[in-house]
Every structure is written in structure tokens, then in C-alpha cells.
Chains A and B, each alone.
Chain A
Amino acid sequence: DAKTTQPPSMDCAEGRAANLPCNHSTISGNEYVYWYRQIHSQGPQYIIHGLKNNETNEMASLIITEDRKSSTLILPHATLRDTAVYYCIVRVATNYGGSQGNLIFGKGTKLSVKP
């Protein structure tokens, strides 16, 4: 089972910031938080990941609470092309030769960006 809880759906106005929450209250100290998204009929797309510090890249920002039990993915200026299902996943760091390879997806949050 997925270790995260996300709202099933959210709406956001085009041009506004989209803030997608994720609860991962049972996260372990060696587990990272990953975000992927999946646009209809395409493969999942990696967005960002982090351990405990906030992270930012060209796509989004990831804010992780100090106790690491929840996080928020922020799309600063949502566009219609950001309409997708967003998955929050917790996963151990992968050691070379280790077995913790797979991602466990939940049902994610369906984000609808509206004009």
C-alpha cells in the first residue's frame, strides 16, 4: 500500500499557484519524498524529490515540514498543460545493489487547471 495520503482532486485557476498537499506521517528517516505527474495517456513524469530541506527546480518547489510528516508541491504559475494526476511517493534511498527499487504509487491528486 502507498505510504502517502493525497486529496483525490483539486482545481486551480490558470496563472495562480497550485499547492498540492501530501501526508506521509509514517515516513522513515532514510525515505525521500518524490513527486511525479501523469498527463492523460502518457507515462509518469518526474518532477522533484527531497529528503528534509526544501527543494526548487525549473518545474516546481517542494516544501517539507520540519517533522517530515507532510509536504507540499508548489507549481508557481499553473498553466492548462499542468492538468494531470500528481503522485506523492515516499521511498528509501537506493543503494547500489540494494533491492528497494520500486516506486509505490497511490491514486494521486487530479489537478484541473481552469482558464
Chain B
Amino acid sequence: DTGVSQNPRHKITKRGQNVTFRCDPISEHNRLYWYRQTLGQGPEFLTYFQNEAQLEKSRLLSDRFSAERPKGSFSTLEIQRTEQGDSAMYLCASSLVVSSVGPPQYFGPGTRLTVL
């Protein structure tokens, strides 16, 4: 097990283009989270999945953002009609929830998006 992986690591796009990021969680982890981090700030929660169900979405997740986890394994985050304000590091994390004790989340290396 090599941990959470994210692809691509870097993405440069022009304003108005669509981009898609992929996250592969730690094997058998049932929860998957997406966060966004801008320069000098801590990560901000976007959304999370329990298996294939999307259980919570932040108000930061505008209509241009969509996330899927179709088979309860990997997840994709798509941003449509990108804007310069979307430039950020997009982080994915996963955890294994089996009881009421809060499990730690394990983060991937992130995808850095630059919108020109």
C-alpha cells in the first residue's frame, strides 16, 4: 500500500477550460475527502464520500464543481469553466470508518492547479 495518490500533480489551464483530477485512496478506505488549499491558508473542506455516496458538500463547492466516486474506490473532481480564483492545491484524503472513534485522515500529495 503506497498511500493516497493523486493525478496529475500539476495542471496548468486557461480560463474557461474544464479540468478533472483523480484521487486513489488507500485500499479499503471507505471515506474519501476533497479539500482545497490556497497560498498561506490551511486546507478547506469541499466534499466527502462514504463508499460511493456523497454525504456532505461545502458551500465552497459551487455548481461548476462536481465530484464522483462511482464504485466506491477512486474519485474524480471536475471543475468546469475554470476561473483564476480556482487556482489552488486540491487535496484528497481517505480514512477507514468502522466505529464511533474518529479515524485519522490520510492525505495525498495534492494536485496544484494554475488557471491562466
Chain A residues engaging chain B, CB cutoff 8 angstroms: 2, 32, 34, 36, 42-46, 49, 85, 87, 91-97, 99, 101-108
Contacts and interface: CB of A to CB of B under 8 A. Distances in A.
Interface of B: 4, 31, 33, 35, 40-45, 48, 50, 55-56, 58, 91, 93, 95, 97-110
Q: Which 5 residue pairs are nearest across A and B when measured between Cβ atoms? A: A105-B42, A43-B107, A102-B45, A46-B104, A93-B102
A43 B110 contact: yes
A102 B59 CA distance: 13
Given A101-B31, A107-B41, A49 B104 contact: yes
B110 A101 contact: no
B100 A103 contact: no
A104 B98 CA distance: 22
A49 B102 contact: yes
Contacts of B110: 42-43
B102 A99 contact: no
A34 B55 CA distance: 22
A96 B99 contact: yes
